[in-house]
Chains A and B, each alone.
Chain A
Amino acid sequence: MSAQARSRTDLLLALADDELALGWRNSEWTGIAPFLEEDVAFSSIAQGEIGHARALYELAAADLGTTADELAFDRPPQDYRCAPLVELRFVPDWARTIARHYLYETADAIRIAALAESDRSAIAALATRIEREEVYHRIHADMWAERLRASGERARFEAALAELWPLALGLLAGEQREQLCEAVSREPVEPVERGEHADEWPVLWEEMTMVRRSVPGASW
């Protein structure tokens, strides 16, 4: 595999791992969100993110001669490339959950727009499709960010944003970071780079892969 192809596959895996881990974290609100409507919303968003992870894994799997399921569940935890932002467990903290949702969806839009310009047509086509679905995640995230800012919990929400901001920058690379600063009106800070995993990650990995590991090679 050429160096260029390798870096493209690495990028697909980083994105897919982010979407899978965040999809998992979002699904933790199913049944216990502060409102019934948010139970439905976070469950649906989780399903959307995991669907995007699957499609991205499939593209990477074609390059690597493997399958989406093997990439999603059969790698050792240290081989995943997800950013620490998506690994953190926030249940039952709604302020941090919405802060991550808002920062992640804004950052995701920037990198998906860049992918839609990819010179590899399958990647560009998938990015175009993902963006049409992500728009609804973003409307939801923006709506909640607005709502918390206008609420009595504004200070708590702003503190969560400030805390997660260096992690959010770590989702992106290069000039995309400047675009994110502009999109969320924040000053650049030292990013927490992808590579080191959060303490919660091995626990999430354990849970996420448990069923598949219970019967190796089974067809579900």
Chain B
Amino acid sequence: MVTEERVWAALAAVADPEIPVVSIVDLGVVRDVEVEHGRVRIEFTPTFLGCPALEVMRERMADAVRALGAEPDVVVIADGGWSTDLITAAGREKLRAAGFAPPAPREATAPTLVQLERGPFRCPYCGSTDTRLENIFGPTPCRSIRYCASCRQPFEQFKTL
């Protein structure tokens, strides 16, 4: 029988399409799972509203539910309830190990240029905080580009959202 636990376990195996080292559960973007009469309702939020991986993620979740023999209903929620603070500790470590600096914690006030330029952002390769902002924007909307002056390596920094 399909239970919420089994659905969560199945979703934990669904890789993020752009950074496959983390799962969608690691990213904290699965907001809720409800099982009723063989139907599985999943509430999920994109990391960024313009995320092109949205449809792929939705399909993969639906497939994971079908593989359990249940009918999926994946609902996209766009609100302030998700932030990068909901990326799990395991997810953050997987990101770092793959060369993506995990996002800094959200603060009470919105990020500023001064923070992005002067903040103690840590290089995911050598651990140095002697890094500088190269570009607020990167290859996907959720990332910035930084450069580590210590190991001379550019790296991708998750934006705080």
Chain A: residues with CB nearer than 8 A to chain B?
37, 40-41, 43-45, 47-52, 54-55, 125-126, 128-130, 132-133, 135-136, 139-140, 142-143
B86 at the interface (CB under 8 A from A): no
Q: Among residues 89 to 138 in chain B, which have CB atoms less than 8 Å away from a CB atom of chain A?
A: 110-113, 116, 134-138
User: For the complex, what is the distance from the CA of A33 to the CA of B126, rounded to whole Å?
Assistant: 33
Contact indicator B113/A142 (Cβ below 8 Å): yes
Contact indicator A55/B49 (Cβ below 8 Å): yes
Chain B: residues with CB nearer than 8 A to chain A?
46, 48-52, 78-83, 110-113, 116, 134-141, 145, 159, 161
In the A-B complex, the 9 residue pairs with the smallest Cβ-Cβ separation, listed nearest first, are: A51-B50, A125-B79, A128-B80, A44-B137, A51-B49, A41-B137, A47-B50, A37-B135, A135-B110
Neighbour of B141 across the interface among A37, A51, A54, CB < 8 A: A51
Contact indicator B136/A48 (Cβ below 8 Å): no
Q: Chain A residues near B161: list those with CB within 8 A.
A: 132-133
User: For the complex, what is the distance from the CA of A65 to the CA of B143, rounded to whole Å?
Assistant: 35
Chain B, interface SS category:
loop
Q: Looking at the assembled complex, report how far the CB atom of A134 sits from the nearest CB atom of chain B, in whole angstroms.
A: 10
Contact indicator B141/A47 (Cβ below 8 Å): yes
Neighbour of A140 across the interface among B78, B79, B80, B137, CB < 8 A: B137
Contact indicator B49/A54 (Cβ below 8 Å): yes
| Between-chain CB contacts (< 8 Å), 11 pairs | A37-B134, A40-B145, A48-B141, A52-B50, A55-B49, A55-B78, A125-B78, A126-B78, A129-B80, A133-B50, A136-B137
Contact indicator B113/A54 (Cβ below 8 Å): no
Contact indicator B135/A41 (Cβ below 8 Å): yes
Q: Chain B residues near A133: list those with CB within 8 A.
A: 48-50, 141, 161
Of chain A, the residue at the smallest CB distance from B143 is: A44
Q: Looking at the assembled complex, report how far the CB atom of A121 sits from the nearest CB atom of chain B, in whole angstroms.
A: 9
User: For the complex, what is the distance from the CA of A52 to the CA of B46, rounded to whole Å?
Assistant: 12
A143-B113 contact given A125-B80, A132-B80, CB 8 Å threshold: yes
Q: Chain A residues near B82: list those with CB within 8 A.
A: 129
Neighbour of A129 across the interface among B79, B110, B139, B145, CB < 8 A: B79
Q: Chain B residues near A128: list those with CB within 8 A.
A: 79-80
User: For the complex, what is the distance from the CA of A132 to the CA of B116, rounded to whole Å?
Assistant: 15
Contact indicator A139/B50 (Cβ below 8 Å): no
Q: Looking at the assembled complex, report how far the CB atom of A76 sits from the nearest CB atom of chain B, in whole angstroms.
A: 26
Contact indicator A136/B50 (Cβ below 8 Å): no
Contact indicator A140/B50 (Cβ below 8 Å): no
Of chain A, the residue at the smallest CB distance from B83 is: A132
User: For the complex, what is the distance from the CA of A133 to the CA of B161, rounded to whole Å?
Assistant: 7
Of chain B, the residue at the smallest CB distance from A134 is: B110
Neighbour of B48 across the interface among A37, A41, A48, CB < 8 A: A48
A139-B111 contact given A47-B52, A54-B50, A129-B49, CB 8 Å threshold: yes
Neighbour of B136 across the interface among A47, A49, A140, CB < 8 A: A140
Of chain A, the residue at the smallest CB distance from B51 is: A51
Contact indicator A139/B138 (Cβ below 8 Å): no
User: For the complex, what is the distance from the CA of A132 to the CA of B48, rounded to whole Å?
Assistant: 10
Contact indicator B134/A48 (Cβ below 8 Å): no
Q: Looking at the assembled complex, report how far the CB atom of A160 sits from the nearest CB atom of chain B, in whole angstroms.
A: 22
User: For the complex, what is the distance from the CA of A11 to the CA of B135, rounded to whole Å?
Assistant: 33
Q: Chain A residues near B140: list those with CB within 8 A.
A: 44
Q: Chain B residues near A49: list those with CB within 8 A.
A: 50
Q: Chain B residues near A140: list those with CB within 8 A.
A: 136-137
Q: Chain B residues near A44: list those with CB within 8 A.
A: 137-138, 140-141
